[in-house]
Structure 1
Amino acid sequence: MTQAPGQRPAPRSARRPRARRWRATAVATGALLAALIAEPLPPAGAVADHTPHKDPHTAAATYTNPVTAGVVDTFPDPSILRGKDGYWYAYGTQNPVFQSSGEDGEHILPILRSADMVHWTYAGDVFTPQTEPAWENGSRLWAPDIRYTDGHYNLFYAVSAQNTFAVATAPTPTGPWTDQGAVLPSPSGCPTNNIDEAQFTDQGGTPYMYWGSYDTLCVAQMNGDRTRTVGAVTQVARGRRMEGAFVVRRGDFYYLFYSDAGCCDGAYSGYQVKVGRATSPTGPFTDAQGVDLMELTSKGSVVAGANGNRWIGPGHNAIQTDLSGQDWLVYHAIPSDDPDLKPASGGTLKLSRRPMLIDRLDWIDGWPVLRAGAGPSDTPQTAPVASWTAGGTFNDGSLSGWHTAGAHAAPWTLATGQDTGPYAVHTGGASTPAFLVTDGRAPADLRAEADLRVTSTGGRAGLVVDYRNPSNYVVAWLDHDRNALVTDVVEDGRSAGEQSTPLPGGFQWEAWRNVAVEIRGTRMTTEVSADRLGDAVATQTRDLPASAARAGAVGTAALGGETAADNVGAAALYTPVTTRVPEPRPGALLPAYSDDFDTATVPGTTADSPWTWVRGPASGVAVTGSALSWPTQGAELYTNTNTASVLTRPAPSGDYTVETKIEFAPAKSNQQAGIALYENDDRYFKLAHSVLPLNNGGGALLNVTEFGKEGERPTTTPPTAVAYAPMFGGPTADTMWMRLRYHADTVHNESEVTASTSRDGRSWVSSGTWTLPRQGPLRIALFSMNTAGAVAQFDYVHTYGG
């Protein structure tokens, strides 16, 4: 059977090689590390040194992607968290990250550190060739996911050749790491490649694990220490090359982020970030079009896709929140001007260059989207808020800028932890709140947070906001005796009424917990989480009296038993973006480049027809009922196999949009039909309704919107004469509307083509943008091919200006 373009996934050796470990054959010299590391950091496996030093949190006004430029050459599949020392840490897939500095080998799960999410330094590796667990048998290690769990860090990572993923634990974000073995049983219970894992903890404390790749995503509960999955496995999503799950909870919904299409094919990587949401962590998840992620079709709700600038294949994301409460998508993408790393490990390892990017994640009408829909950025952008208006990390080893207040039996002092560095301690005994608050004030609309710990029974540790004096403040307590999050508003010494939200059973009070408060107007939202990663175990909302929603100091409070606090501060609350960037609309209809197929003559068969055939007319093609009827051919249009008929006509000069309405109900694998912008058999952009097999799907077939490009690939060694790759767009239907929007990028001498589809002719889903260097003219084209047995009916072809 002839296979359809898009059916051929890149072999695993080309995507993420599964061969034996290619060990680093060169080690960075001291001079190299000195140049790479602006601030001394521990080597791989070492314990972090928390000698008191200056608080690092100074604001960066702007940044330009990639944020890892000049630090590492590549950093795929990034995961990120804010450590208890106040720094952000990022973890990446095993890759040759210092190739440009002369290294030929790879670093095993490299670590970066930053004070602001913009300026990063190399902080070592999770494993070295000597410390990697022996049971992994030299497998390459991918896709790390980092979490803070009950006083230590859990790093989950895929063990490629073993078709599983494992967990290592450490007392600090940089190690030393202790192997805890494979997380999954064997068999796993999920019909997929068992990689690309991400942990999530639900309200009430139940932990889950999501994982999967090529083409199914699954979820299962975890044991209490989050080292093994337990119980039933639930499939939550299916789609062509789905992988890279990451889940957060926001409001009443759980959001499942994932990527599809090809992650690692250089300039032909069709990777995108998409999302579905559900009211349960086990689904069902649906996209914004209401399509269940388990349906056998491609999905909409694109969060981040290629937009025609230098970034190709944006995907495999994590999410991080800055100090103002603004969310950021953390992801990798491939630079179009330098998409491929040099062959490494003696020339046997060939990988795409995938540096780390960050961009603002907006939530509009209940759905997340990158930069209001503008996509990945390649120009200077406003940086994350990484410094507080009031507050600090105590990392300078003093209480300068803070003062105490309230009647209490013991003073506030500083202690030092292996993970945290210096932090504030109150040894207990206070029968009324003992405050440690900032000298400066934070604004009324704010995000405040603190890492809190209660180390004895009968204690309360609090985050205090809107503080004026011991008789006027707002507080969020972690109450040990009540095992609850308790908030209170105190005015003129009188409580407005405590509000209590239970904390999970078995809550580990000895571990640090992040308490975050956001106040917008008079609405106050409080969350308790382990590590600020969108999976709070307790959330509470309440309305404040208008008189209490005011500018004031921020700080911590202690009541009863011994408590501790770190990373206490507040910043002005972010201003949400509420309107998407408008999609370009087609201009006026261009009748000279349009056809309603309202004559009985087959296009391209008369001398006066604007249409011409490549290898045609196709057998069985006819005009019936004001539609072009075209049976699918058992023929191909894919790299070096070019046997299918193509019906073409000239396209207008300048920018334009071409649209068709197609009725197509394929029933066999590899049947496809659609519209293209065609230069020749080896250079085109193609938008198709295609049928492709579901990997590991037991014969199940997927109907997909396949947006592909074919052209030369000169960056490979040796140059590839012709290559093809798809993106996957919105959901399909028997009747679909398809659009290709053409833009001539004269600055870069490129053709930019953006695809979109609709199931009703009104609501459109974009499939991203492909580019090719401009050479010859593109022509409007139709096709119906690959496997015989279906019929495509084209109702019209309309071309619009602009």
Structure 2
Amino acid sequence: MFLSPTTAAPGVRRATSRFLSGCRASYLLLLLLALLGLSPQARALQGNDNCHDPSSIVKDGNKYWIFTTGQGIYGMYSTDLVKWESGPRPVFAAGAYPSWIKTKVPGFTGDFWAPECVYRNGKFYLYYSVSTFGSSVSTIGLATNVTLDPASPSYQWVDQGEVVSSGSGSACNAIDPAIVTDASGGLWMSYGSFFKGIGLIKLDATTGKRSGTSFTWLAGNVAADGVSRSNSGSEAPYIVRNGSYYYLFINKGACCNGASSTYYIQVGRSTSITGPYRDKNGVDLNRNGGTTLIATQGNYVGPGHVGLYQENGANFFSHHYYDSNQNGRARLSVGNLGWDAAAWPFLTRDWLAAGRYVLRNQSSNLVWDAWGCTGASGQAIAQGTYSAGLACQQWNLTPDGNGEYKIASAVGAALAADVVNNSPANGAKLQLYAYSGIAGQRFKIERTNAGNYVVSSVNGGRVVEVPGCSATAGVQLALYDYLANNCQKWGIAPAPAAREVLAAQTPTLRNVSVFPNPAELGRFVVSLDEAARNTPVTITLTDTQGRTIYSRASVGAAVVPVETGLRAGLFLLSVSSAQGSYTQKVVLQ
């Protein structure tokens, strides 16, 4: 199939988009910005976050890796899930591609699409796609390695050959692989892009390659007869198992058009790995169903190609998007996946709920302090020695969308954290000032792998740090380039005064119970009486440092299942509603 530069068609990802998704595009973009005298706009993540069709995040040692579309399979890594760097070399060196690929896809030129990487059996399994534009002549291959560290003497990618292929007459296009393990330990691969939809095949648990010939359709556009299939707009499948359900995430719309992309993510669920997957309205994804999880929001245009990584009680949900503030550049986003009372997923880029918090530096152990405690406009924001209940060390965080926050002082009417003169420069200092919503008064808050946070100015993306890593109280906070050191990381916990008030309250929700307690594998249920369950109820868990690490809402349920995925420890459970509140210590083991 021939495509003009402005025409999209089923099964097609334009060559221009594949070029723009690689690292070459970042060099060209930065060069263009320099020539035009432009400064980069707000960054969500730090470092080199250029990315298209990201794999799910996979960890090796102290590094987290993502593989993306690009020549030879492009890789990027992070040590904290915030700052990303380009890998030193692609998986396959230029010209050293597996020879079998050309027999399946004669038009192959070294551009690999939409890889996926998983760890099992003591090694990493990297699945990759190869195709030609405008055609279903495609193949999915597999390479393995015992390490992802290019500096290791054991580092060597071994190609294992073909997993599945498609031809010009095939109904399911063999690209966009995603791997999932079922409740019984069985290994499966979903794949597909446009044409007749999304399919599922069984894999051998040892080799990682196809086992048998079974094939199941998961999503598409089945005709009224229930058998024949029309062309489908579905691609980029990804299956997650959570509780008693399997969740199938897919993409619809048009990718690869930069800021004009219309890509969006939908989801359906099933109690069986093989489906049927139905949306919130009960419509089968095979009949063009799907509940939209996330679409374009602000400068986050055309989100797509999801993955889920879980660690330390957090659900890091990765996907690419096109940044409308950056000429539609394809970038990586890592959001916060949660589950509602009906066990449906929701996605937010906010890591903290609105509330009053204390921000503690991970190097000095000192806290954000409106220095002088007068609440006057222009007062410096410095680090201070912590004093429980001191209002000028407490900050009201208000989400402003897409992970951005207003950070207002608990002292001083309508005063908020402000970068002096709205400057994006290194060394720009923080002060209190009347809030107007300008970029220098809005801050992006990202969660790290360790559960602390990085706070960056929306104006330019530099982060709040303690200058010089000082341990001296009174040092004014300022913006600097992100180096991923502890001077730039903050523990953010609810203000102790709020916790003390909570502890002093006499619970008005009388008939609340938790079972079992201690709880195994982070799972327990909360039973509510009629008064509680007839109004919206919020259930939260906080750790011993006061950090909220789990939250869910419920309406009308007498028994609310809680599946935290947390490691063993002591936590405080809070149940709150219009009828009152209830708190109890919960032990996970």
TM, length-normalised to structure 1 = 0.39
Q: Does 1:234 align with 2:216?
A: yes
Greater Cα shift, 150-159 or 129-138: 129-138
- Report matched runs for 1:355-754 at 5 Å: 355-364=331-340, 365-371=342-348, 376-377=402-403, 380-387=443-450, 522=517, 524-526=519-521, 574-578=549-553
- The answer to whether the Cα contact below 8 Å between 1:304 and 1:376 also exists between their aligned partners in 2 is no
Q: Which amino acid aligns with 1:232?
A: S
Distance of 1:256 and 1:11 partners within structure 2: 20
The structure whose residues are more often helix, as a share, is 2
| Closer/same/farther in 2, CA of residues 300 and 206 from structure 1, 3 Å limit | closer
- The answer to whether the Cα contact below 8 Å between 1:213 and 1:242 also exists between their aligned partners in 2 is yes
Residue number among 205, 211, 223 corresponding to 2:204 in the alignment: 223
Residue number among 292, 297, 305 corresponding to 2:295 in the alignment: 305
| Closer/same/farther in 2, CA of residues 316 and 262 from structure 1, 3 Å limit | same
Deviations 1:152-197 (A, max 9, x none): 0000011113511111000112442111111015669961221111
Q: 3-state DSSP class of the match of 2:308? A: strand
Q: Does 1:317 align with 2:292?
A: no
Distance of 2:186 and 2:169 partners within structure 1: 20
The structure whose residues are more often strand, as a share, is 1
Q: Which amino acid aligns with 1:158?
A: S
Q: Which residue of 2 aligns with 1:157?
A: 128
Residue number among 121, 124, 141 corresponding to 2:85 in the alignment: 121
Say which one has the larger Rg: 1
Deviations 1:82-124 (A, max 9, x none): 4241321111111xxxxxxxxxxxx432212212110122223
Gaps of 5+ in 1: 1-6, 33-63, 95-106, 341-352, 390-442, 444-518, 527-539, 553-569, 581-802
Residue number among 125, 128, 133 corresponding to 2:98 in the alignment: 133
Distance of 1:327 and 1:181 partners within structure 2: 32
- The answer to whether the Cα contact below 8 Å between 1:199 and 1:209 also exists between their aligned partners in 2 is yes
Q: Which residue of 2 aligns with 1:734?
A: none
Q: Which residue of 1 aligns with 2:191?
A: 211
Residue number among 259, 271, 291 corresponding to 1:279 in the alignment: 271
Distance of 2:515 and 2:403 partners within structure 1: 29
Distance of 1:256 and 1:196 partners within structure 2: 14
Q: Which residue of 1 aligns with 2:392?
A: none
Deviations 1:593-633 (A, max 9, x none): xxxxxxxxxxxxxxxxxxxxxxxxxxxxxxxxxxxxxxxxx
Distance of 2:160 and 2:274 partners within structure 1: 26
| Closer/same/farther in 2, CA of residues 571 and 81 from structure 1, 3 Å limit | farther
Q: Which residue of 2 aligns with 1:145?
A: 116
- The answer to whether the Cα contact below 8 Å between 1:185 and 1:229 also exists between their aligned partners in 2 is no
| Closer/same/farther in 2, CA of residues 362 and 16 from structure 1, 3 Å limit | farther
Deviation at 1:65, TM superposition (A): 4.7
Residue number among 313, 317, 322 corresponding to 1:329 in the alignment: 317
| Closer/same/farther in 2, CA of residues 571 and 233 from structure 1, 3 Å limit | farther
| Closer/same/farther in 2, CA of residues 376 and 157 from structure 1, 3 Å limit | farther
- The answer to whether the Cα contact below 8 Å between 1:18 and 1:139 also exists between their aligned partners in 2 is no
Q: Which residue of 2 aligns with 1:536?
A: none
Residue number among 160, 166, 176 corresponding to 2:141 in the alignment: 166
- The answer to whether the Cα contact below 8 Å between 1:199 and 1:210 also exists between their aligned partners in 2 is yes
Distance of 1:541 and 1:201 partners within structure 2: 20
| Closer/same/farther in 2, CA of residues 372 and 113 from structure 1, 3 Å limit | closer
Q: Which residue of 2 aligns with 1:9?
A: 8
| Closer/same/farther in 2, CA of residues 223 and 151 from structure 1, 3 Å limit | same
Distance of 2:59 and 2:116 partners within structure 1: 14
Distance of 2:270 and 2:239 partners within structure 1: 11
Q: Which one has more relative contact order, counting CA pairs under 8 Å at least 6 apart?
A: 1
Q: Which amino acid aligns with 1:292?
A: D
Deviations 1:702-759 (A, max 9, x none): xxxxxxxxxxxxxxxxxxxxxxxxxxxxxxxxxxxxxxxxxxxxxxxxxxxxxxxxxx
Deviation at 1:16, TM superposition (A): 4.2
Greater Cα shift, 312-321 or 169-178: 169-178
Distance of 1:300 and 1:10 partners within structure 2: 21
Deviation at 1:70, TM superposition (A): 4.0
Q: Which amino acid aligns with 1:231?
A: T
What's the Cα RMSD here? 4.2
Q: Which residue of 2 aligns with 1:199?
A: 179
Q: Does 1:266 align with 2:248?
A: no
Q: Which amino acid aligns with 2:98?
A: P
| Closer/same/farther in 2, CA of residues 131 and 318 from structure 1, 3 Å limit | same
Greater Cα shift, 273-282 or 371-380: 371-380
Q: Which residue of 2 aligns with 1:404?
A: none
Q: Which residue of 1 aligns with 2:501?
A: none
Deviations 1:412-462 (A, max 9, x none): xxxxxxxxxxxxxxxxxxxxxxxxxxxxxxx9xxxxxxxxxxxxxxxxxxx
Distance of 2:68 and 2:295 partners within structure 1: 21
| Closer/same/farther in 2, CA of residues 541 and 214 from structure 1, 3 Å limit | same
Q: Which amino acid aligns with 2:78?
A: S
Distance of 1:11 and 1:339 partners within structure 2: 25
Distance of 1:380 and 1:572 partners within structure 2: 19
- The answer to whether the Cα contact below 8 Å between 2:250 and 2:266 also exists between their aligned partners in 1 is yes
Q: Which residue of 2 aligns with 1:716?
A: none
Distance of 1:186 and 1:551 partners within structure 2: 50
Distance of 2:546 and 2:92 partners within structure 1: 37
Deviation at 1:134, TM superposition (A): 2.3
Distance of 1:523 and 1:300 partners within structure 2: 38
- The answer to whether the Cα contact below 8 Å between 1:65 and 1:377 also exists between their aligned partners in 2 is no
Q: 3-state DSSP class of the match of 2:56? A: strand
Q: Which amino acid aligns with 2:116?
A: D
| Closer/same/farther in 2, CA of residues 311 and 84 from structure 1, 3 Å limit | closer
Deviation at 1:211, TM superposition (A): 0.3
| Closer/same/farther in 2, CA of residues 362 and 166 from structure 1, 3 Å limit | same
Residue number among 283, 291, 306 corresponding to 2:283 in the alignment: 291
- Report matched runs for 1:751-790 at 5 Å: none
Q: Which residue of 2 aligns with 1:624?
A: none
| Closer/same/farther in 2, CA of residues 571 and 93 from structure 1, 3 Å limit | farther
Distance of 2:165 and 2:73 partners within structure 1: 23
Q: Does 1:181 align with 2:161?
A: yes
Q: Which amino acid aligns with 1:181?
A: G
- The answer to whether the Cα contact below 8 Å between 2:516 and 2:525 also exists between their aligned partners in 1 is no
Deviation at 1:139, TM superposition (A): 4.4
Deviation at 1:286, TM superposition (A): 0.2
Deviation at 1:381, TM superposition (A): 4.1
Identity over the aligned pairs, expressed in percent? 27
Deviation at 1:267, TM superposition (A): 2.3
Deviation at 1:8, TM superposition (A): 6.5
Residue number among 338, 342, 355 corresponding to 2:326 in the alignment: 338
- The answer to whether the Cα contact below 8 Å between 2:82 and 2:448 also exists between their aligned partners in 1 is no
Aligned residues: 348
Distance of 1:247 and 1:197 partners within structure 2: 11
Deviations 1:397-419 (A, max 9, x none): xxxxxxxxxxxxxxxxxxxxxxx
